[in-house]
Amino acid sequence: GNSVTQMEGPVTLSEEAFLTINCTYTATGYPSLFWYVQYPGEGLQLLLKATKADDKGSNKGFEATYRKETTSFHLEKGSVQVSDSAVYFCALLPIQGAQKLVFGQGTRLTINP
């Protein structure tokens, strides 16, 4: 079946540190891949997405590259800010079936000044 595995949290970094949150997936074919972010007290917001192999999604300084060889979609940012503190969800949308998002378990990120 389809599944997403994310790096376990919580993750705590200092401001301006480099961020990587690992995400790997299992799916049939080539699903679309997403990173969503959830700020405290809010719903999920789309951060970035990629719909085919080798695509790179980017937004607000965050990047992730769709790697079919390693079935991965790791999230990276070169210099994090306190305002990046949130929960990050990796997700896939299968190409077959009911088109339902499959989420990872979420990674809580805290950035200290």
Partner 1 sequence: EADIYQTPRYLVIGTGKKITLECSQTMGHDKMYWYQQDPGMELHLIHYSYGVNSTEKGDLSSESTVSRIRTEHFPLTLESARPSHTSQYLCASSENREYETQYFGPGTRLLVL
Other Cβ atoms closer than 10 A to 89: 22
Determine if 44 is a binding residue for partner 1 (CB under 8 A): yes
Determine if 101 is a binding residue for partner 1 (CB under 8 A): yes
Name the residue among 40, 38, 15, 42 with its Cα closest to residue 88: 38
Determine if 106 is a binding residue for partner 1 (CB under 8 A): yes
CB within 8 Å of 70: residues ≥ 6 apart:
24
Determine if 1 is a binding residue for partner 1 (CB under 8 A): no
Total residues contacting partner 1 by CB under 8 A comes to 23
Comparing CB distances to partner 1, the nearer of 9 and 63 is: 9
Give the separation between CA 80 and CA 76, rounded to whole angstroms.
10
Shortest CB 31 distance to partner 1, Å: 9
Determine if 25 is a binding residue for partner 1 (CB under 8 A): no
Name the residue among 95, 96, 110, 101 with its Cα closest to residue 44: 101
Residues 52-81 that bind partner 1 (CB under 8 A): none
Give the separation between CA 11 and CA 99, rounded to whole angstroms.
31
Residues near partner 1 (CB under 8 A): 32, 34, 36, 38, 42-46, 49, 51, 87, 89, 93, 95, 98-101, 103, 105-106, 108
